[in-house]
Amino acid sequence: MKMQSASPSWLPPNAAAHGFAMDHLMRWNLAVLGLCFLIAHALLFILLLRRSKSSTGSPVPRSWMVQVVPIVLFAAIYLTMAITAERLWASKRFEGAAPQSMQVEVTGRQFQWYFRYPGTDATFGRLDPSLIQPANGNPLGINPADEHGKDDIVASELVLPVGREVDLTLRAQDVIHGLFIPAMRLKQNAVPGQLLHVHFTPVAEGTYPIVCSQVCGLGHARMQARLRVIGAGEFKAWLASKEAAR
């Protein structure tokens, strides 16, 4: 089911739960600032073209209203923007994902995204960078000695069931990459040496592009992937087929 979202027209349609609030915020920010831009330039044009008849202009009115009101107005605008935005930020970032959210690990490497599912044991296997061998089917360096790694599913596309919160763990093998899923209004750098978490809930089925947003070398523009959001039943079937193929 595709939900109608009132995104500003240039943004791709939103498909994430938190995206509606973000789009709303974006819309009124753009509207207010766009209006300020137009008013300011209209004023500039008026001042540019004005020719007074009298020979001496009167000085800037000393009335405190003219001097103080604009800045108070702007300060109020900025304050409102700051508060609304911080609220949204806090709601998304200050708390971690819900405990029952699905865990997927995203690994960026030059120039490919890998997505790892923990499998039936719900635990990710240990990784060893010296075991990384993409040509031999082990692009993440999963340690074969580790039991938990045996049922991990590694895919090059991100497949998610609709309506369920997912907690992504971001890793990078070599340089800083940026995971950007525009339709999910999501961006987070993957930094080598760190495990970073972001969570979101996809609410509309479809196929969405994933692009890399942090320059990572000559293949930066090619480092793309797809997010497929499918129904819960389809997702189960997909997982099963991946496990069987392993």
Partner 1 sequence: MPATFTRTPAHEVERKDTGIGGRPPVDKRPTGGGGGDENWDRHGHGRGGPRELITRYRMALIFGLSGDLMFFIAIVSIFFARQATGHFDARNDYVMDWRPIYLPSILFINTAIMLVSSLTMEIARQQLFRETDVMDEWLGIGRPMSRRATPWLLATIALGLLFLGGQWIAWEQLSEAGVFFSGNPASHFFYLITGAHGAHLLLGLVALGAAIAGVYWLKRVEYRQILVDCTAWYWHSMGVLWF
Partner 2 sequence: MSWLRRHVFTTNHRSVGLLYLALVAIAVAIGVVLSLLMRIHLAWPALCFPGWGVMKPEDYLALVTIHGTLMVFFVLTIGPQNAFPSLILPGQIGAKGMAFPALNAVSLWMTALSLFVLLAAFLVPMGAPISGWTSYPPLSAIAAAGPGQALGMDCWLLSLAIFAVGQIFGAINILATIIDTRVKGMTLGRMPLTVWSWLISSTLVLPAFSVLLAALVLLFCDRHLATSFFVPLGDAVAGHVIRYGDGSPLLWLHLFWFFGHPEVYIAILPGMGLASSLFANFSRRPVVGYKLMATMTVAIGLLGFLVWGHHMFVSGMNPYAGTAFGLTTMAIAIPSTIEVLSWMGTLWAGSKRRGGLILKTPMLFALGFLSFFIAGGLTGPILAQPALDIYLHNTFFVVAHFHLIMAMAGAFSLFAGVYYWFPLITGRRMNETLGRFHFWFTLIGAYGTFFPMHLQGLAGKPRHYADLTGPAASLLPNLLPSERGITFSALLLAASQTFFLVNLIWSALRGLKADANPWQATTLEWRPSSEEELKLIRHGPYEYDVAWTESDFIPQWAEGGDQE
Binding to partner 2 (CB under 8 A): which residues in 100-129? 109-110, 129
The verdict on 171 binding partner 1 (CB under 8 A) reads: yes
Contacts of 106 (CB under 8 A, 6+ apart): 113, 114, 115, 116, 158, 168, 169, 170, 171, 179, 190
**Closest approach of partner 1 to the CB of residue 149, in Å:** 12
Q: Which stretch binds partner 2 (CB under 8 A): 115-123, 142-150, 159-167, 223-231?
A: 223-231
Q: Which stretch binds partner 1 (CB under 8 A): 72-80, 114-122, 191-199, 228-236?
A: 191-199
Contacts of 225 (CB under 8 A, 6+ apart): 112, 113, 115, 156, 157, 158, 209, 210
Q: Which of residues 148-167 bind partner 2 (CB under 8 A)?
A: none
The verdict on 194 binding partner 1 (CB under 8 A) reads: yes
Site string for partner 2, 174-193 (x = CB under 8 A): xxx-x-x-x--xxxxx-xxx
How many Å apart are CA 222 and CA 215, to the nearest integer?
11
Picked from partner 2, partner 1, none, the partner binding residue 54 (CB below 5 to 8 A depending on kind) is partner 2
- Binding residues for partner 1, how many (CB under 8 A)? 8
Contacts of 143 (CB under 8 A, 6+ apart): 125, 126, 127, 128, 131, 149
How many Å apart are CA 125 and CA 127, to the nearest integer?
6
Asked whether the beta carbons of 190 and 108 are under 8 A apart, the reply is yes
Token pair recorded at residue 99: 């405990």
Q: Which of residues 94-153 bind partner 1 (CB under 8 A)?
A: 126-129
- Is the Cβ of residue 39 or residue 237 nearer to partner 2 in the bound state? 39
Residues that bind partner 1 (CB under 8 A): 126-129, 171, 193-195
